[in-house]
């Protein structure tokens, strides 16, 4: 009963708020250009943000991982990794102009790179012809998916999701998170964005950034460059649009900290 309710709430957020971009899965004229298999997770949100920034329509295919949908049905058949997000691009054509097989990409970092390279006019990733600017952007993108993301997800596991408190796990996660936020805070010193200008590195960062914004790490306010960056980000229409939905998705999860038994949002 409880589970069903969560899914209903979740779908309600989707239908209510995705009115601009939500295309019914049952639309008759064949496949949509893009299908996004995702949920309200940090990695999925990066892809939602990206599509919003590109202003490209897509079919949203919610995969409720809390109900194990990533191991079921159509999604399980087309993914080798059972992880969201996954992007399916149905627009590719063969040399003779016939529609080609759909292109399926998983790993949020790879999806952002793909879309940025496909839509170079978005200027969200410098081209290969500018190796200096480009590699600066890709290294901060990769840093997030390989260092910061895994680090914060460990923290979230040990502080919110573990079936019982594991003190040493919390201690390590706490230290690792403080180290990584220090690196990020230093990087953002004197910079408006992670790299020279707004890029996929910032979009990727806000995937976790939005959860930081809602207080999953209480010490965040010590990191003044990060909070300043966050204030810049939340002014943007994309994030303005998503923040209320993210807040709602967090509220219905009813998260309680395992270190002090406090709820993330006051009940």
Partner 1 sequence: MTDKDYDFYGYHTSNSWKVDIMLKELSIESFNYTEVDIAAGEQFKPDFLKMNPNNKIPVLVDNTISPPLVLFESATILEYLADKYKKLLPGLDRPRERYEVLKWLTFTVASQGPNMGQLLFWKIHNQEKVPAAIEKSQKEIERIYSVLDGVLKDRSYIAGSELSICDISCYGWGMYLKFGIVVDGWEVKYPNFKRWVDLVETRASFQHAVKLADEAIRNWQASKK
For partner 1, the binding residues (CB under 8 A) are 80-83, 92, 100, 103, 105-107, 109-110, 113-114, 117-118, 128, 131-132, 135, 138-139, 142-143, 145-147, 149-151, 154, 157, 162, 164, 166, 168-169, 172, 183, 186-187
Which lies closer to partner 1 via its Cβ, residue 61 or residue 245?
61
- CB contact at 8 A, 79 and 87: no
Which lies closer to partner 1 via its Cβ, residue 80 or residue 97?
80
- Min dist CB 11 to partner 1, Å, is 28
Other C-beta atoms lying within 10 Å of the C-beta of residue 222: 13
Which lies closer to partner 1 via its Cβ, residue 83 or residue 228?
83
Which lies closer to partner 1 via its Cβ, residue 100 or residue 247?
100
- Min dist CB 91 to partner 1, Å, is 10
Which lies closer to partner 1 via its Cβ, residue 10 or residue 37?
37
Residues 225, 110, 127, CA angle at the centre, nearest 5°?
A: 75
- Min dist CB 267 to partner 1, Å, is 27
Helix crossing, 149-156 with 200-213: angle to 10°? 20
- Min dist CB 2 to partner 1, Å, is 24
- Min dist CB 221 to partner 1, Å, is 21
- Residue 198 has φ and ψ, to the nearest 5°, of -55, 130
Q: Using a CB cutoff of 8 Å and minimum separation of 24, what contacts does 152-161 make?
A: 152/42, 152/177, 152/180, 152/208, 152/211, 152/212, 152/216, 152/217, 153/42, 155/216, 155/217, 156/211, 156/216, 158/258, 159/216, 159/257, 159/258, 159/259, 160/216, 160/255, 160/256, 160/257, 160/258, 160/264
Name, in order, each residue with C-beta under 8 angstroms of 95's C-beta and a sequence gap of 6 or more: none
Which lies closer to partner 1 via its Cβ, residue 129 or residue 266?
129
- Min dist CB 9 to partner 1, Å, is 28
């Amino acid at each position: 009963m409880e589970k069903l309710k969560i899914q209903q709430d979740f779908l309600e957020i989707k239908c209510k708020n995705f009115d601009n971009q939500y295309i019914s899965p049952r639309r008759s004229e064949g496949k949509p250009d893009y299908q996004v298999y995702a949920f309200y997770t940090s990695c999925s949100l990066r892809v939602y943000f990206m599509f919003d920034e590109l202003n490209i329509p897509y079919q949203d295919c919610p995969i409720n991982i809390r109900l194990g949908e990533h191991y079921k049905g159509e999604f399980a058949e087309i993914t080798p990794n059972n992880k969201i997000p996954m992007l399916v691009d149905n627009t590719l054509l063969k040399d003779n102009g016939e529609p080609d097989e759909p292109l399926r990409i998983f790993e949020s970092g790879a999806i952002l790179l793909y879309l940025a390279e496909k839509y170079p006019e978005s200027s969200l990733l410098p081209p290969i012809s500018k190796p200096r600017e480009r590699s600066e952007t890709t290294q901060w993108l990769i840093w997030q998916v390989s260092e910061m993301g895994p680090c914060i997800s460990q923290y979230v596991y040990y502080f919110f999701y573990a079936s019982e408190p594991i003190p040493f796990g919390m201690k390590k996660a706490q230290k690792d998170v403080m180290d990584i936020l220090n690196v990020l805070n230093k990087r953002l010193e004197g910079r408006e964005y992670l790299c020279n200008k707004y890029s996929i590195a910032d979009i990727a960062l806000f995937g976790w950034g939005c959860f930081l914004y809602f207080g999953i790490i209480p010490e965040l306010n010590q990191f003044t460059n990060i909070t300043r960056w966050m204030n810049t980000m939340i002014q943007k229409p994309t994030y303005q649009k998503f923040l209320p939905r993210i807040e709602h998705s967090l509220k219905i999860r009813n998260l309680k900290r395992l270190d002090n038994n406090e709820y993330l949002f006051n009940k």
